[in-house]
Amino acid sequence: NKKYQYVYDLPEIWKEMTGLPFVFACWISNKNIDKNFLSEFNFALKFGLSEIDKSLDIEKHNFPHCKNPNDYLNNKISYVLDKKKIEGMKLFLSKII
């Protein structure tokens, strides 16, 4: 990237340092979550992920700067918070607190 003198790939560096994935964002709550809400949320997530290609067909004209939005949304972003990601997130938080 010629726009900046230094460019760092944070998840790549984190993976090299820890062997764990880096989590950029997640949905969290400091209260108990109603089981119905959790079920509906998980359904909405699965539905949204199954509709990425349709959404891109409709909205890709709004993202001309993204060379391959299909690859980005389907292959570069991981949407499920698994045990390894939780472990990586906890380690990161322990280092910044």
Provide the residue-wise pLDDT of the chain in tens; the chain has 97 residues. 578 888 888 999 999 999 999 999 998 899 999 999 999 999 999 999 999 999 999 988 888 888 888 898 899 899 989 999 999 999 999 999 8
Task: Return d(Cα 8, Cα 15) in angstroms, integer.
Answer: 13
Length of the chain: 97
Task: Return d(Cα 59, Cα 62) in angstroms, integer.
Answer: 6
Handedness of CA 21, 1, 72, 40 (dihedral sign): positive
Q: Is 0.85 surpassed by the pTM of this model? A: no
